[in-house]
Amino acid sequence: MHQVVTAVDGALKVLGIETSCDETAAAVVVRAADGTGRILSNVVRAQWEKHRPFGGVVPELAARAHVECLDDIVREAMLTAGLTFPQLDGIAVTAGPGLIGGLMVGVVTAETLALLNQTPLIAVNHLEAHALTVGLTEGLKPAYLLLLVSGGHTQLLAVHDVGRYTRLGSTIDDALGEAFDKTAKLLGLGAPGGPAVERAAATGKTGRFELPRPMHGRPEPNFSFSGLKNAIRLAAQAAAPVSDQDIADLCADFQAAVAGSVADRVRKAFVLAEAAFGAGAPKRLVVAGGVAANQALRASLSSVAAEAGYALHVPPVALCGDNGAMIAWAGAERLARGLVDPPGIVARARWPLDADAKAVLGKGRLGAKA
Ligand code: KG4
Ligand code: ZN
């Protein structure tokens, strides 16, 4: 294992590489000795054009696209940061969860760079990177309650510390981002679906379509979105042929149903979080992952948090979706604690943050990022 040698001022400069899904990303961040962070560069290249004809992410195409551009993206991140490889204190790479071909591209690249430059290597869990982003953007450190909402995950977690998580709730079927993407596809909107639904909803009115609020009132803070997706399909069929206004109204009602359901689930999680952290702990709700960019969801969570005396923390929109800065930052947080990895990192399609959490239903989801 490499010896961790910090710069004279205790600052750590870390390169982060992200290739777990359909974004190729690299970034350099610096973590000061006082634990605060700064982004020196953050380069993200989305692959949507390559996947659009197939209506979803094709794993093999994603892996090839990462191979084609990762070297350029890393070079650009280093140039923008104004650093050479020997000046880095660590190289962090997403090792899971995600699409295995893409993960391997990132891992091989990071290991090669680390070996050539004798730089410590850090294998980062993509979900941990989302979970810790608020540490980079606003210096917020655990403990806090986390709502993680992305294309592959929908979970509520007690974040005790870096590397220490308790899952309080999870989806029993689709992830929230997946529900946005499938709704967009059903309504003939472009990809990625989340932003497309949000744009369409902006000109829609709520209250026209009666949609379910999944799991409403259930005591455990779990989620379900497949019934809602089905209800949207039935409502769209009943309104066919749909006009642009119908689509806008459907999207507005979909977002309202999502926001209502998530708010109800988060309210239930507050009780569990207080038990997990103790009654006197600061009440903090963090929202992370691609869907955290959604303004309707943010607004709903903002009132739920205020109602319960919680402070709401959400990264800026540009850092909600997948990016290299969050990987570099999670790597820097681990490096500062001496948590480095020997060469031979194994890419993992599944890698839960809470290894002890039991499946919510049956064997649980077996999807790429579950
Ligand atoms: O975190 P992320 O970039 O990738 C994963 O780790 O999965 O999340 C991607 C998901 C996609 O499902 C995308 O449609 C959704 O986040 N998303 C949004 C918005 N922006 C991205 N969903 C709702 N509203 C948005 N503005
Ligand atoms: Zn993500």
284 — phi, psi (to 5°)? -135, 130
Q: Does 368 score more than 70 pLDDT?
A: no
Give the global pTM: 0.95
Examine domains 3-136+319-368 and 142-318 and report if their fold is the same.
yes
121-125, strands of its sheet edge to edge: 37-46, 23-31, 12-18, 90-96, 121-125
Q: Does 365 score more than 70 pLDDT?
A: no
Nearest CA to ligand 1 atom 7: 151
Among 127, 128, 225, which Cα is nearest to 181's? 225
| Ligand 1 center from residue 88 Cα (angstroms) | 31
Residue showing tokens 């350099």: 28
| Ligand 2 center from residue 124 Cα (angstroms) | 12
What is the reported pLDDT for 53? 85
- Its CATH class, for the domain covering 142-318, is alpha beta
| Ligand 1 center from residue 195 Cα (angstroms) | 8
Q: Does domain 3-136+319-368 have CATH number 3.40.50.740?
A: no
How far, in Å, CA of 26 to CA of 106, rounded? 10
Mean pLDDT of 79-95: 98
Read out DSSP for 278-307? -TTS--EEEEESGGGG-HHHHHHHHHHHHH
Task: Kindly indicate the confidence band of residue 2, based on its pLDDT and cuts at 50, 70 and 90.
Answer: very low
110 — phi, psi (to 5°)? -65, -40
Kindly list the domain boundaries of the chain, sorted by start residue: 3-136+319-368, 142-318
Nearest CA to ligand 1 atom 22: 194
Tell which atom from ligand 1 comes closest to the C-alpha of 176: 12
pLDDT digits (tens, 9 = 90+) for 227-238: 999 999 999 999
Q: Does 43 score more than 80 pLDDT?
A: yes
Q: Which ligand has the nearest atom to the CA of 254?
A: 1
Mean pLDDT of 8-37: 96
| Ligand 1 center from residue 289 Cα (angstroms) | 7
Ligand 1 pocket, CB under 6 A? 21, 150-152, 177, 180-181, 192-195, 198, 289-291, 293-294, 321-322
How far, in Å, CA of 125 to CA of 345, rounded? 12
Residue 167 pairs in a beta bridge with 157
* Cβ neighbours of residue 346 closer than 8 Å, sequence gap 6 or more: 95
Identify whether 143 is preceded by a cis peptide bond (ω within 30 of 0): yes
pLDDT digits (tens, 9 = 90+) for 271-317: 999 999 998 999 999 999 999 999 999 999 999 999 999 999 999 99
What is the reported pLDDT for 1? 44
Among 291, 294, 297, name the best residue to mutate to test ligand 1's pocket (greatest count of ligand atoms within 8 A of Cβ).
Answer: 291
Classified as helix, coil or strand, 309 is: coil
360 vs 17, residue with greater confidence: 17
| Ligand 1 center from residue 365 Cα (angstroms) | 19
Nearest CA to ligand 1 atom 14: 194
Among 132, 147, 180, name the best residue to mutate to test ligand 1's pocket (greatest count of ligand atoms within 8 A of Cβ).
Answer: 180
Tell which atom from ligand 1 comes closest to the C-alpha of 191: 14
| Ligand 2 center from residue 147 Cα (angstroms) | 13
H or E element in which residue 37 lies? strand 37-46
Mean pLDDT of 77-102: 98
Q: Does 367 score more than 80 pLDDT?
A: no
154-161, strands of its sheet edge to edge: 164-170, 154-161, 144-149, 284-288, 311-313
Among 150, 262, 300, 314, name the best residue to mutate to test ligand 1's pocket (greatest count of ligand atoms within 8 A of Cβ).
Answer: 150
Torsion angle defined by CA atoms of residues 301, 302, 305 and 311, in that order, rounded to the nearest 10 degrees:
130
Mean pLDDT of 28-32: 98
Q: Which ligand has the nearest atom to the CA of 192?
A: 1
Nearest CA to ligand 1 atom 19: 194
* Cβ neighbours of residue 162 closer than 8 Å, sequence gap 6 or more: 128, 132, 142, 330, 333, 334, 337, 339
